[in-house]
């Protein structure tokens, strides 16, 4: 056996799979060839060192991560509902509804406060007496200057029979009032 | 997969864990398919470290190897109902692991960022302070040991991908040629030829450093 054949059949030699006769020839070659001896020794030393390498262990979180992934897999396939994500979803919906309701209430009270502030900032002469109804004739007088022939839109809201306001203003005939 | 099996890794039927430990792989697979999801826990426990070491020695990245082992178990979980129970479960698990490792190596060879990270990792390993693990050994022995470890790890990493998988399966996992042929999907002749080339390359890389 020469070096070339030895290297070609080296795997079988290393595993002890050569037939008896080939095994003998390989061993004879090995005893005579320094290069192949060196090669064989390097392989043996290398493999021994490789097998002596410390084995790695899975991390502590491995099992939990795998469980999570399998749960996710099942949820995706619709075979199971993840109780945690269900609870989270329900909580989120409740919180959203609460926030919207709270926001609306806040908005309403803020509007009220803003209009109160705007009114109080006005000079007293411009403030409308919020609680005092404007007399229909006052409105009519104010508007008839612009629309003298058609104040109908503004007088239809009150009943003259109920009109007991002492601040009643009688329209002079010269203004064209009726 | 039955609905009972959906309560992942949690028992759907009470049963002592030790009873699963006594079952062989084939019976564990059957138990899982019958709805006993704890049987899957046992399979994970049996194979997680072996698959991690196999993938780690193949791709050389510990964290990524763990991610890939997770992927192996997800695929097993997903497809266990289609597993041919006349075959060995371990061969199937290693086949999935081997395919994922090969894909990873291919993706890495195309991704410059991963190459950079590998280079940086090697640089960091070269520049970290020497750790004295064994106080009974002489410093030059420890240095030699550590040098040899690094050398063999690098030698494995330098093997071509399809040689490396066969080499690790044979030398570290102790698989037979037939099992390696099943795992890699190659015929026996190819396995023998690849293994011989891998062994020759491995010895050739190491030999100059051992003088």
Instruction: Supply the DSSP string of chain A, one letter for each residue.
Output: --HHHHHHTHHHHHHT-S-HHHHHHHHHHHHH-HHHHHHHHHHHHHHHHHHHSPPP---TTHHHHHHHHHHHHHHHTTS---HHHHHHHHHHHHHHHHHHHHHHHHHHHHHHHHHHHHHHHS-GGG---TTSPPPHHHHHHHHHTT-TT--HHHHTTS-GGG---TT--PPPGGGT--
Query: Crossing angle for the helix pair B89-110 and B112-127, nearest 10 degrees?
Result: 100
Interface contact B152-A43, CB threshold 8 A: no
Residue A127's pLDDT band (boundaries 50, 70, 90)? low
Q: What is the pLDDT of residue A119?
A: 65
Interface contact A43-B196, CB threshold 8 A: no
Q: How far is CA B69 from CA A73, A84, B88, B93, B192, in A?
A: 16, 26, 18, 10, 27
Distance CA B63, CA B107 (A): 16
Q: What is the pLDDT of residue B148?
A: 83
pLDDT greater at residue A158 or residue A28: A28
Set of chain A residues whose Cβ sits within 8 Å of the Cβ of B6:
74, 79-80
Distance CA B12, CA A74 (A): 15
Facing residue for B196 by CB, picked from A11, A58, A65: A11
Q: What is the pLDDT of residue A130?
A: 53
Beta-strand ranges (E) seen in chain A are none
- Burial class (CB within 10 angstroms; exposed 0-12, middle 13-18, buried 19+) of B190: middle
Residue A83's pLDDT band (boundaries 50, 70, 90)? low
Set of chain A residues whose Cβ sits within 8 Å of the Cβ of B53:
55-56
- Contact, A41 vs B210, CB < 8 A? yes
Q: What is the pLDDT of residue B14?
A: 40
Residue A145's pLDDT band (boundaries 50, 70, 90)? low
Interface contact B171-A47, CB threshold 8 A: yes
pLDDT at A22 over 50: yes
Positions in chain B whose pLDDT score sits under 70: 1-18, 111-142, 211
pLDDT greater at residue A124 or residue B46: B46
Residue A120's SS3 state is helix
Query: Min CA distance, B97 vs chain A (Å)?
Result: 15
Taken as a whole, chain B contains a residue count of 211
Set of chain A residues whose Cβ sits within 8 Å of the Cβ of B48:
58, 62
pLDDT at A176 over 70: no
Q: What is the pLDDT of residue A26?
A: 93
In this prediction, residues A29-44 reach a mean pLDDT of 92
Q: What is the pLDDT of residue A88?
A: 79
Q: What is the pLDDT of residue B122?
A: 47
Query: Min CA distance, A16 vs chain B (Å)?
Result: 13
Distance CA B211, CA A45 (A): 12
Residue A177's pLDDT band (boundaries 50, 70, 90)? very low
Q: What is the pLDDT of residue A152?
A: 43
Q: What is the pLDDT of residue A29?
A: 94
Q: What is the pLDDT of residue B69?
A: 96
Number of CB pairs < 8 Å for A and B?
Answer: 103
Interface contact B70-A41, CB threshold 8 A: no
Q: What is the pLDDT of residue B183?
A: 94
pLDDT at A144 over 80: no
Q: What is the pLDDT of residue A47?
A: 92
Distance CA B200, CA B166 (A): 13
Q: What is the pLDDT of residue B137?
A: 57
Neighbours of A158 (CB within 10 A): 16
Distance CA B205, CA B211 (A): 12
Interface contact B206-A46, CB threshold 8 A: yes
Q: Which residues contact B71 (CB under 8 A, 6 or more apart)?
A: B100
pLDDT greater at residue A162 or residue A41: A41
Q: Euclidean distance between the first and final Cα of chain A, in Å?
A: 137
């Amino acid at each position: 056996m020469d070096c070339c054949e030895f290297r070609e059949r080296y795997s079988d030699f290393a595993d002890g799979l050569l037939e008896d006769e080939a095994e003998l020839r390989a061993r004879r070659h090995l005893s005579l060839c320094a290069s192949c001896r060196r090669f064989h020794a390097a392989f043996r030393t290398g493999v021994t060192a490789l097998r002596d390498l410390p084995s790695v262990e899975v991390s502590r979180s491995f099992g939990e991560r795998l469980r999570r992934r399998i749960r996710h897999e099942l949820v995706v396939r619709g075979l199971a509902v993840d109780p945690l994500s269900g609870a989270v979803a329900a909580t989120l919906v409740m919180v959203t509804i609460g926030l919207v309701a709270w926001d609306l209430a806040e908005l309403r009270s803020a509007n009220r406060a803003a209009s109160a502030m705007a009114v109080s900032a006005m000079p007293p002469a411009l403030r409308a007496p919020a609680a005092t109804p404007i007399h229909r004739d006052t409105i009519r007088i104010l508007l008839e200057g612009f629309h003298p022939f058609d104040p109908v839109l503004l007088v239809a809201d009150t009943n003259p029979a109920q009109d007991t306001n002492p601040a009643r203003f009688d329209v002079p005939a010269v203004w064209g009032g009726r | 997969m039955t609905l009972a099996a959906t309560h992942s890794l949690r028992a759907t039927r009470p049963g002592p864990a030790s009873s699963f430990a006594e079952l062989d792989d084939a019976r564990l697979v059957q138990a899982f398919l019958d709805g006993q999801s704890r049987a899957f826990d046992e399979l994970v426990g049996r194979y997680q470290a072996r698959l991690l070491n196999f993938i780690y020695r193949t791709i050389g990245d510990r964290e990524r190897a763990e991610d890939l082992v997770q992927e192996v178990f997800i695929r097993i979980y997903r497809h266990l109902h289609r597993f041919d129970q006349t075959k060995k479960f371990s061969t199937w698990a290693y086949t999935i692991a081997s395919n994922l490792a090969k894909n990873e190596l291919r993706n890495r060879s195309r991704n410059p960022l991963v190459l950079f990270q590998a280079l940086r990792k090697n640089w960091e390993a070269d520049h970290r302070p020497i750790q004295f693990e064994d106080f009974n050994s002489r410093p030059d022995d420890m240095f030699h040991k550590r040098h040899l470890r690094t050398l063999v790890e690098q030698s494995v990493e330098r093997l071509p991908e399809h040689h490396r998988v066969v080499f690790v399966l044979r030398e570290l996992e102790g698989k037979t040629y037939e099992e390696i042929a099943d795992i890699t999907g190659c015929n026996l002749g190819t396995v023998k030829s690849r293994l011989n080339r891998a062994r020759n390359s491995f010895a050739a890389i190491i030999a100059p450093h051992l003088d």
